[in-house]
């Protein structure tokens, strides 16, 4: 609720759901969506709908209003039910239609629990339908918030999408999300709408004007990046100030065992996370995805703080553990070792034999495996049927922490004072 109120008071009128949004803990996501809706801040997603939406409606008509009502309650708990297809915002007589799109294959990348009951339609067809609907509803200008892919490929995928739309089907302005690490850039597809892509360290600003006399079309007069402003809104300022003191005292302090002897790169951090995960859960095998760290936050230098670790690990991942039979691991092993985005510690293959920590894998033995909730729930499509492996939340650490970033900070804080941390130290991942 506090986050929704802060965004609303800062001037936001609508939000686009992104892949990170969809990966948030489901209960938290539901709570935020409800609070945002109450604050008049719709969470938009045009190409998601409840599974078998049309069939459910027909079944409800046939069996009575009570059955239809039950289906609506179930749908409301899904991602499709939490979001809205489109919104219209009015400013000075200008009706601005807004919608957002996510990639059709998103369910393969996020926690499956979060997309259960939701079907993602093709972005191209959803764009056509939504632009048409917004214009029929009287929108003068239509803006697409596109999250067509993640990271640096997002603007390219967005351009590919709009190049397939005719002039009647295309929005008037496209804002391409997920462009971390990119400088501001304005790109226009051939005879298509302007595309605005902004890095995570600045805000995008687009000015839309009508020709002299007020009778011509609305056009993009100016677009660019603006630095993040100081909060000028009184309400937002009070909210931020109330968080400031507590945040700084808890997050900006130097960790006792976190003084680096040199720059720490993303790979160094992942190695350290593997070590901490295995130590704290007494696991023989660790499975992590490299995307759990934000590469734009590196290199880290000097003294690590809880805040610097949270910037480097922004996704609130928690540890999950399971005792898995060797026969099941043998089936999973080829996929683990072939996945480029996955770091596996404790597993290797020599010729035709798999080894766990230097010993040949025993199909009848059980192995303790640690991973993060994202992978344990089917994220990145690594585990086809995660429920069969029986992952459960790991016990909290000595300080009661459950999130990996907090556990890492606590682990560093418990190291001997004055013992510096060498980022180049490497573990033997197989023994």
pTM of the model: 0.64
Question: What average pLDDT is seen over the chain?
Answer: 81
Q: In 10 A of CB 418, how many CB atoms?
A: 8
Check residue 58 and give its pLDDT. 41
What backbone phi and psi angles, to 5 degrees, belong to 317?
A: -70, 145
Q: For 165-195, how does the pLDDT look when each residue is reduced to its tens digit (9 = 90+)?
A: 888 898 988 887 655 444 445 455 456 677 7
Cα gap 34→195, rounded to integer Å: 31
Cα gap 382→399, rounded to integer Å: 31
Beta-sheet strands, E only, within 115-268: 118-120, 141-146, 173-176, 185-188, 194-197, 202-210, 218-227
Q: What is the DSSP letter of 264?
A: B
Beta-sheet strands, E only, within 329-407: 342-345, 347-350, 353-356, 359-360, 366-372, 392-393
The answer to whether 257 touches 305, Cβ cutoff 8 Å, is no
* 3-state DSSP assignment of residue 421: strand
Q: For 375-413, how does the pLDDT look when each residue is reduced to its tens digit (9 = 90+)?
A: 888 777 778 777 788 899 999 888 888 889 999 999 998
Query: Is residue 215 predicted with pLDDT exceeding 70?
Result: no
**Helices 2-9 and 26-38 meet at what angle, rounded to 10?**
40
Burial category of 377 from C-beta neighbours within 10 Å (exposed 0-12, middle 13-18, buried 19 and up): buried
Q: What is the DSSP letter of 108?
A: G
């Amino acid at each position: 609720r506090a986050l929704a109120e802060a965004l609303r008071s800062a001037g936001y009128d609508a939000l686009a759901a992104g892949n990170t949004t969809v990966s948030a803990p489901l209960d938290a996501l539901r709570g935020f969506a409800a609070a945002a809706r109450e604050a008049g801040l719709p969470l938009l997603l045009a190409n998601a709908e409840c599974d078998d939406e049309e069939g459910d409606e027909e079944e409800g008509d046939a069996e009575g209003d009570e059955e239809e009502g039950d289906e609506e309650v179930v749908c409301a708990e899904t991602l499709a039910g939490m979001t809205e297809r489109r919104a219209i915002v009015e400013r000075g007589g200008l009706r601005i239609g807004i919608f957002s799109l996510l990639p059709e294959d998103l369910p393969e990348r996020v926690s499956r629990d979060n997309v259960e009951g939701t079907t993602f339609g093709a972005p191209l067809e959803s764009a056509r339908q939504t632009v048409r609907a917004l214009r029929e509803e009287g929108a003068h200008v239509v803006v697409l918030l596109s999250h067509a892919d993640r990271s640096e490929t997002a603007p390219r995928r967005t351009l590919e999408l709009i190049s397939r739309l005719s002039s009647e089907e295309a929005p008037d302005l496209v804002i391409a999300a997920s462009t971390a690490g990119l400088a501001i850039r304005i790109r226009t597809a051939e005879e298509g709408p302007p595309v605005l892509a902004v890095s995570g360290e600045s805000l995008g600003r687009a000015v839309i004007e009508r020709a002299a006399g007020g009778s011509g079309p609305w056009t993009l007069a100016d677009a660019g990046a603006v630095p993040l402003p100081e909060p000028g809104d009184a309400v937002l300022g009070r909210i931020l100030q109330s968080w400031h003191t507590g945040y700084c005292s808890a997050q900006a302090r130097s960790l006792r065992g976190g003084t680096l002897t040199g720059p720490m790169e993303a790979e160094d951090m992942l190695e350290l996370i593997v070590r901490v995960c295995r130590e704290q859960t007494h696991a023989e095998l660790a499975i992590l995805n490299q995307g759990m760290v934000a590469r734009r936050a590196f290199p880290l230098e000097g003294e690590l703080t809880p805040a610097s670790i949270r910037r480097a690990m922004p996704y609130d991942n928690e540890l999950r553990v399971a005792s898995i039979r060797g026969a099941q691991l043998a089936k999973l092993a080829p996929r683990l070792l072939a996945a480029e985005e996955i770091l596996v510690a404790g597993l290797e293959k020599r010729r035709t034999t798999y080894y766990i920590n230097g010993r040949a894998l025993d199909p009848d033995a059980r192995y303790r495996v640690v991973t993060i909730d994202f992978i344990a729930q089917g994220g990145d499509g690594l585990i086809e049927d995660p429920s069969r492996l029986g992952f459960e939340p790991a016990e909290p650490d000595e300080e009661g922490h459950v999130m990996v970033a907090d556990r890492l900070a606590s682990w560093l804080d418990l190291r001997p004072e004055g013992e510096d941390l060498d980022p180049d130290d490497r573990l033997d991942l197989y023994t």
